[in-house]
């Protein structure tokens, strides 16, 4: 039995959905109704999130998570599947393709976590501070500070019900799991852009977290969205997904 908690919705070719930072099933609430009549959607809770148990200490989060995903694939009797990955879930998808690319038909990366330059340096600085002073991370990922981060980074400063829901979901997860998911991001994300399987990249023009490459191919689409694209731009995401996977 796989250690990962999951749900299956719909019928059709299998499509694995990998969520982002600290939010599992709720991130897909707007997309599932648009896709479930076309695909067998496999919604997974990544290690330590929701009902999925955390990984052992000193385990590489994305490598071990990819191995657990392939255990789930075998358990479900799936030979090949496609992936729809969001935010930090794109880094899990990247590692999965690197390790198990022969089981993947196609990938869709939504708000890919490509964070070069000052974005990467800022993340490393924050993680260094947290490693030296863990109480900093505890403080930042709780209460009004977490709500402020979610509102600023996910919704470009626009507070509201969705931001409150995301804050509640993230705040319910173990902080050590959230730390691990950030600390184990392997790099800025350059290899994310050159996988060995057909991949569609969907970027938000107003996304303040990720950055779309200046020189991009026809595999890259920029939509009118911020980092909350799975919720606020679900129709555009579903349209591109169906066009790419049909």
212-241 tens-digit pLDDT: 777 777 899 999 999 999 999 999 999 999
Given a cut of 70, is residue 141 above it in pLDDT? yes
pLDDT for 1 equals 66
DSSP 125-153: HHHHHHHH-HHHHHHHTSHHHHHHHIIII
In the DSSP assignment, the letter for residue 3 is S
For residue 57, the model assigns a pLDDT of: 83
Q: How far is CA 167 from the centre of its chain?
A: 16
Q: What is the pLDDT of residue 183?
A: 95
Q: Band the pLDDT of 114: cuts 50, 70, 90.
A: very high
Give the pair of three-digit tokens for residue 140: 């930042």
Instruction: Provide the CATH topology of domain 5-116+188-245.
Output: Rossmann fold (3.40.50)
**Mean pLDDT, residues 23-42 taken together:** 97
| Confidence at residue 44, expressed as pLDDT on a 0 to 100 scale | 98
Residue 215: the pLDDT is 73
* Residue linked to tokens 């707007």: 30
What pLDDT score does 163 carry?
94
Over the stretch 63-97, which tens digit does the pLDDT of each residue have?
A: 999 999 999 999 999 999 999 999 999 999 999 99
> What is the structure's pLDDT at 159?
86
Average pLDDT of the residues in 151-170:
94
Tokens of 195: 């996988």
Which tokens sit at 69? 């995903």
Q: Residue 107 carries which DSSP code?
A: E
Handedness of CA 87, 88, 89, 90 (dihedral sign): positive
Looking at residues 17-40, what average pLDDT do you find? Answer: 96
Q: Is 90 within 8 Å of 178 (Cβ atoms)? A: no
């Amino acid at each position: 039995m796989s250690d990962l908690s999951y749900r299956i919705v719909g019928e059709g070719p299998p499509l694995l959905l990998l969520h982002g930072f600290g939010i599992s099933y709720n991130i897909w609430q707007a997309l599932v109704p648009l896709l479930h009549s076309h695909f067998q959607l496999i919604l997974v809770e990544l290690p330590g999130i929701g009902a999925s148990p955390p990984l052992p200490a000193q385990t590489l989060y994305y490598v071990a998570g990819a191995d657990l995903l392939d255990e789930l694939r075998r358990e479900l009797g799936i030979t090949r599947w496609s992936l729809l990955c969001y935010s930090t879930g794109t880094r899990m998808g990247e590692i999965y393709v690197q390790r198990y690319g022969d089981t993947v038909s196609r990938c869709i990366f939504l708000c890919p976590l490509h964070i070069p330059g000052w974005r990467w340096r800022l993340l490393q600085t924050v993680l260094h501070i947290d490693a030296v002073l863990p109480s900093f991370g505890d403080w930042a990922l709780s209460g009004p500070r977490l709500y402020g981060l979610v509102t600023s980074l996910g919704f470009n400063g626009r507070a509201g019900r969705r931001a409150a829901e995301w804050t509640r979901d993230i705040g319910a997860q173990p902080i050590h799991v959230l730390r691990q998911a950030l600390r184990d991001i392997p790099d800025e994300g350059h290899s994310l852009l050159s996988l060995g399987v057909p991949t569609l990249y969907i970027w938000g023009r107003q996304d303040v977290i990720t950055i779309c490459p200046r020189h991009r191919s026809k595999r890259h689409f920029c939509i009118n969205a911020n980092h909350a694209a799975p919720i606020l731009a679900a129709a555009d995401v579903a349209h591109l997904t169906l066009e790419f996977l049909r």
